[in-house]
Amino acid sequence: MEKKELNALTRQIDRLLFALERMHLHEYVEYVTNRKRLLVTAFVGGIARGFGFAIGFSILGAVVVVLLRYIVAEKFPGLGEFFAEVLYAVQKRP
């Protein structure tokens, strides 16, 4: 190999090493090989997503209920009575 080619290869290797350092590949490989840490992280992430889903669904459901109550009370009085009967029947059940 000529010195020029060797210098070019050295520069390419240096750029590759710099790119790998920027990607934190070493830390990622350590993370993936540590099964306990990986499982704990996945478990905690799953719990957090579950709570987020539950809270989001509750808020969205409450907004929908409030909007439906407003629409039914203002626009469809007869339909409001029907929903009141259904709500009473559901609340009366043990």
Q: The pTM is what?
A: 0.51
Q: What is the rounded distance in angstroms from the CA atom of residue 50 to the CA atom of residue 58? A: 12
Q: What is the model's pLDDT at position 94?
A: 67
Q: What is the rounded distance in angstroms from the CA atom of residue 70 to the CA atom of residue 79? A: 12
Place of tokens 């629409």: 71
Residue 84: its H or E element: helix 77-92
Place of tokens 């459901």: 61
**pLDDT less than 50: residues of the chain:** none
Q: At how many degrees (to 10) do helices 25-33 and 3-23 cross?
A: 50
At 50, give phi and psi (nearest 5°): -65, -45
